[in-house]
Amino acid sequence: MSALAPVLAGACLAAALWRAPRRGRPLKVTAVLTERCHLRCDFCRLWEKPDAGVSTSTWIDFFRANPFLRWVNLTGGELFAKERLDELLDAIVAALPKLELLDFPTAGQLPDATEATVKRLLATRLPRLAVTVSLDGGPELHDSLRGMPGAFERAFETFARLRGLLPAAKGRLTLVAGCTLTERAEEQERTLATELGRRLPDFRRGELHFNLAHVSPHYYRNAADGTAAGLRANDGALAVLRRRASAHGALGWIERNYARLAARALHDNHPPMGCDALARTVFVAPNLTVHPCTIWERPLGNLADFGLSLERLLARAEVDAARAEIVARRCPGCFSPCEAVPSMVAHPWRTTFTRARTHARPAGAAP
């Protein structure tokens, strides 16, 4: 996902995150448009039985019903497997007068379509667009993890094309190569950094973002054999995070603190600085079922039963009860950037001064 996007969206979004949240009106939505995908990834099982999602027209109606949203994270599956995608994106920009940031990840398997869509979005009034192109290692390793020959070459072409749009975007486009660290984390880091450095002599450290693997029954559907939802990481992955954290600027602050606090999140089974799920952020599945976040499978109702209004669905006692469980740290726990990064930005002092632990709990161990 485009996990580091919020600090790049400017002062308006940061200021909005700092304010006390309004009940029933999250600032950010993570919307899974479809579970359809072009790949067969080892760490995600949505492709085995994908939900195509509600129609594009229904998604347009959803965004029109929630004009208070400031940050929209569109995901899948694969965004570019959704029908009438450009029509939907145009409608999102038109429907949300307070929109500060639109971000999405892509596996990058359709270079022409992705480049055209990004150009189209940059021609709108959208203040900031952030795109993550998934690259999970060098060509051989990436193709193995993604389950499709040639996947790396298509993804790299997409990344290189979007990279070429950066000068004309004049700061409105943020682009990173995103790598989800698995048990082969150090091999992923080594082969990917080598390959990108060879192909792009001017490649910068800040263009490469590493993410920790998670288990989610509803978002990745990878909770096989009773595996508990939450963060999954090993010492190699944590070492890569620490080694690769960007050193400068607001982006560097996010990278450094995420890397610094990851081991404690794994040990405590909860984000050290707290979580704002159901307060500042919310997750909407492709069939419009609302969950607190990407990880906790706690269905809170379907938007179709509430006139597509987040405010109506979220302003209920059962949602308040779920939020209380999050505050009390009784949810499965995670360190997913979809929720962790907004919370870090919303609580900068708490994030900066929270102490990190020196040793991580082994992946899968009970807290």
The percentage of the chain sitting over the pLDDT mark of 90, rounded to a whole number, equals 76
CATH code of the domain in which 233 resides: 3.20.20.70
In a domain, 40, yes or no: yes
Give me the mean pLDDT over the 61-72 stretch. Answer: 98
Confidence (pLDDT) at 225: 61
Which of these ranges, 23-27, 174-178, 223-227, 293-297, has the smallest mean pLDDT?
Answer: 223-227
Q: 120-152: per-residue pLDDT in tens?
A: 999 999 999 999 999 999 999 999 999 999 999
pLDDT for 365 beyond 60: no
User: What is the rounded CA–CA span in Å between residue 76 and residue 82?
Assistant: 9
Task: Tell me the pTM.
Answer: 0.92
Confidence (pLDDT) at 5: 47
Go through 281-309 and write b for each residue having 16 or more CB atoms within 10 A of its CB, e for each that does not: bbbbbbebbbbbbbbbbbebbebeebebe
In a domain, 293, yes or no: yes
Residue partners of 280: CB distance under 8 A and separation at least 6: 17, 21, 26, 27, 28, 342, 343, 346
In a domain, 367, yes or no: no
Residue with the larger pLDDT of the pair 245 and 315: 315
Reported confidence tier of residue 4, pLDDT bands at 50, 70, 90: very low
In a domain, 80, yes or no: yes
In a domain, 188, yes or no: yes
Confidence (pLDDT) at 251: 75
| Both tokens assigned to 187 | 């091999």
Closest CA to 44 of 139, 148, 149: 148
Chain-centre distance for alpha carbon 142: 19
Contact 343, 274 (CB under 8 A): yes
The number of distinct structural domains making up the chain is 1
Reported confidence tier of residue 10, pLDDT bands at 50, 70, 90: low
List strand residue ranges (DSSP E) for 259-303, in order.
281-284, 290-291
Domain boundaries, position 140? 5-353
Reported confidence tier of residue 74, pLDDT bands at 50, 70, 90: very high
75 strand-pairing partners: 32
In a domain, 195, yes or no: yes
User: What is the rounded CA–CA span in Å between residue 53 and residue 275?
Assistant: 27
Q: 153-179: per-residue pLDDT in tens?
A: 999 999 999 999 999 999 999 999 999
In a domain, 202, yes or no: yes
Confidence (pLDDT) at 226: 66
Confidence (pLDDT) at 367: 40
In a domain, 359, yes or no: no
Confidence (pLDDT) at 176: 94
Confidence (pLDDT) at 244: 84
Confidence (pLDDT) at 283: 98
| Both tokens assigned to 135 | 């690259």
pLDDT for 96 beyond 70: yes
pLDDT for 7 beyond 50: no
